[in-house]
Structure 1
Amino acid sequence: MTGIEEAEAQLSEIELLTSMFPSQNEFNIRDQLALAELREYVEGRTDYLPSSRPEFVIHQKMDTEDLKGLYVSLFKVTVAISCTYVVDYPNVLPDISVRCPELSRAQQARLHADMNAHLKENCCGEVCMLSAVEWIKDNAHLYITKNPAAQGLQRVSTETPPVEVFTRLWIYSHHIYNKVKRKNILEWSSDLGLSGFCMPGKPGIVCVEGPQASCEEFWARVKVLTWKRIMIRHREDIPLHSQSGGEGNVTSLRRFSGFEEAMFDPHGNRGNHMDLGQLYQYLNERGCGEVFQLYFGIEGR
């Protein structure tokens, strides 16, 4: 980050994309902490330059013609457009990558080269992600050709079944005191079949793990409550292989046997601070010790 103007442009673009793609299935910010640091810098609440670079992904379903002309109907493809801001953006292009199962590596390389050439010519010094999305919508079909095997599959189905994903969300809150919120967290995790824990106090920490859709539903419910500050500090997504048995995979990947509210020797005038050494031991016993440093910036012991 070289200046406040770049930071303001980046934050404005993220807010615009959030309003245009309100669903997490369409627009997902991968590092909420990076966004929080960017916002604090733009709003003048800190003089420190953001230490992380915002990353996000935009998912779009697009109709693509069969280029060999064997079928009249269109088939749908799902395109994932990933973006990582660089320090000088929008003075230089961000790192943009396009992923699609129907794209070969050679097709993907050509698409990237042509997209970047278009953006350099038309978006120099300006934010460019909407232009990138529109260009991909207009041109992706030119790079996607179906092979004979894929053509055969199209007679049965026009869409590839979604890959099941196991997700673990590590949520950070400035504090968790309110009894109603704590009750909601316990009830919602149970309703959605999620395991993990909630550490109330200041700061507040929540971990939920289970099927991706259930974790995202939990986050959608929690984030709309009134908080001073709440964010996904870290996210783990692990694809499940159906041939191994999805439910068995979920069970084997869980680090927590159920969901609980965990207290670690509360102290302080209001009894709202926890013993972080005990928290580290709790995490370490469950194979999650490395997360402690992500939350607090120091190695646990």
Structure 2
Amino acid sequence: MSYLESAESQLAEIELLSSMFPTHDEFEITDQLALAELRGYIEGSTETPPPSRPQFLIKQKVDAASMKGVDFTLSCTYPSGYPNILPEITVRCTYLSRTQQSELHADLNAYLMENCQGEVCVLSAVERAKDSLHLYIDKTSSAEPASKNESSAQKPSEIFSRVWIYSHHIYNKIKRKNILEWSKELGLSGFSMPGKPGIVCVEGPQTACEEFWSRVKVLTWKKIMIRHREDIPLNNQATDSGADESMDSLRKFTGFEEAMFDPHGSRGNHMDLGQLYKFLHEKGCCDVFQIYFGIEGK
């Protein structure tokens, strides 16, 4: 699909969405300039592909009867290659914890990748979110936000997270530099493996892992997703120093590094997966190899 054909598909989907969600309370273009540039490029007023990327919000309510009155916002940004590349979609709901939101995003990306690759997919994403959002909301709660008194009285447990990210490839030197610098800035340990495929593991405080993922995912990727994650609550009765000790005791990596495993291939972009498995085995997390590649390592 040429860039012009991609642009035409993007504009057609935006026009369809605006007709299906006609009110500002349902559908909102958050970057009108990007939309104008996209339309101008399609109509031939400029020969240069627009630099900006269309962004919009879709606001809906959850379909499940038990979640009556619960609404959510789906934020979407088109990458330049959409629909050949999946859009950047974020679902926000006040009833979701960070962990639940991450799980929902992982499920949504996997669903779109399996069912909508190469096709416009925002409507499918909306319907998937409406159908499944209630599954991620804690059933033990009353499905209503805690009062200010309750929220101030309860100090949430700190959570240790280990997030395993999969990318179709990691070649770009700037992205590789960002990954190294951001992990250091946020106090995360782990590793990144450049090449095809690209793998990144970060571990540390959940808030720091979430911040790292929020920065990485908005870069331009052919495909990127959270393949697996581990979230371990820490004892909230511990002192601050005790919490830090518990956090560090859960780490499987010391610091953060870019790991290369005998790069080969015509461009030197393929790694020896046997060496990767050995590396993971030494770190005590070799089970993730099967999650990534669908086979047991050796």
Amino acid corresponding to residue 38 of structure 1 in structure 2:
Y
Alignment-derived partner of residue 204 in structure 1: 198
Partner of 1:261: 258
Partners of 1:265 and 1:219 lie apart in 2 by: 27
**Do structure 1's residue 182 and structure 2's residue 179 form an aligned pair?**
no
Quick one: distance in 2 between partners of 1:194 and 1:247?
A: 13
- Provide the rounded CA distance (Å) in 1 between the counterparts of 2:224 and 2:151: 41
Q: What letter matches 2:254 in structure 1?
A: S
Q: Which residue type is aligned with residue 18 of structure 1? A: L
Q: Structure 2: how far apart are the matches of 1:207 and 1:55? A: 27
Rounded to whole Å, the distance in 2 between the matches of 1:209 and 1:40 is: 26
Distance 1:220 1:22, change over 3 A: farther
The letter for the 1-side match of 2:178 is N
Map 1:101-120 → 2, pairs under 5 A? none
Q: How big is the shift at 1:158?
A: 4.1
Alignment of 1:221 with 2:215, yes or no, is yes
Contact 2:189 2:254 in 1 (8 A): yes
Secondary structure at the residue paired with 1:18?
A: strand
DSSP-derived class of the 1:277 partner:
helix
Q: Deviations over 1:260-281 (max 9, x none)?
A: 0000000000000000000000
Q: Deviations over 1:241-293 (max 9, x none)?
A: 14441001011000001100000000000000000000000001011000000
Separation (CA, whole Å) in 1 of partners of 2:151 and 2:268: 58
Closer, same or farther in 2 for the Cα pair 1:188/1:286, shift >3 Å? same
Supply the AA of the counterpart residue of 1:267.
H
* Aligned position for 1:171: 165
Per the alignment, residue 278 of structure 1 pairs with 275
SS in structure 2 opposite 1:28?
A: helix
Asked if 1:98 corresponds to 2:98, the answer is: no
Q: CA deviation at 1:162?
A: 1.3
1:99 maps to amino acid: T
**Which residue identity lines up with residue 167 of structure 1 in the other structure?**
S
The Cα shift of 1:97 comes to: 4.8
Summarize the Cα distance change of 1:34–1:83 in structure 2 as closer, same or farther, 3 Å threshold.
same
5 Å-filtered alignment, 1:64-143, equals 83=135, 97-100=138-141, 136-137=143-144
Q: What code does the residue aligned with 2:103 have? A: R
Deviation at 1:29, TM superposition (A): 3.7
Percent identity over the alignment? 56
Q: Unpaired runs of 5+ in structure 2? A: 1-57, 63-71, 76-90, 120-127
Paired residue for 1:39, among 112, 115, 120? 112
Q: Is the 8 A contact 2:263 2:270 kept in 1?
A: yes
* Structure-2 separation of matches of 1:41 and 1:273: 24
Query: How many residue pairs align between the two structures?
Result: 201
**1:233 aligns to 2:289 (yes or no):** no
Q: In the alignment, which residue of structure 1 is the partner of 2:92?
A: 21
Q: Supply the AA of the counterpart residue of 1:294.
A: I
TM-score, length-normalised on structure 1? 0.58
Residues 266 and 275 of structure 1 are in contact (CA less than 8 Å); yes or no, is this contact kept in structure 2?
A: yes
**1: CA distance between counterparts of 2:117 and 2:179?**
33
- Partner residue, 1:251: 248
SS in structure 1 at match of 2:153: coil
Following TM superposition, by how much is the alpha carbon of 1:32 offset from its aligned partner in structure 2, in angstroms? 5.0
Distance in 1 (CA, whole Å) between partners of 2:104 and 2:287 is 17
Does the Cα contact within 8 Å between 1:29 and 1:55 map onto a contact in 2?
no
User: Is the Cα–Cα contact under 8 Å of residues 184 and 256 in structure 2 kept in the other structure?
Assistant: yes
Q: Give, in whole Å, the separation in 1 of the partners of 2:235 and 2:266.
A: 50
User: Residue 83 of structure 1: SS of its match in structure 2?
Assistant: helix
Does residue 30 (structure 1) correspond to residue 27 (structure 2)? The answer is no
Instruction: Give CA deviations for 1:31-57 in whole Å, capped at 9, x if unaligned.
Output: 6554234213442659xxxxxxx899x
Gaps of 5+ in 1: 1-11, 47-53, 59-80, 85-95, 101-110, 112-135, 145-153
Greater Rg by CA: 1
Retained in 1: the 8 A contact 2:92–2:101? no
d(CA) in 1 for partners of 2:207, 2:225 = 18
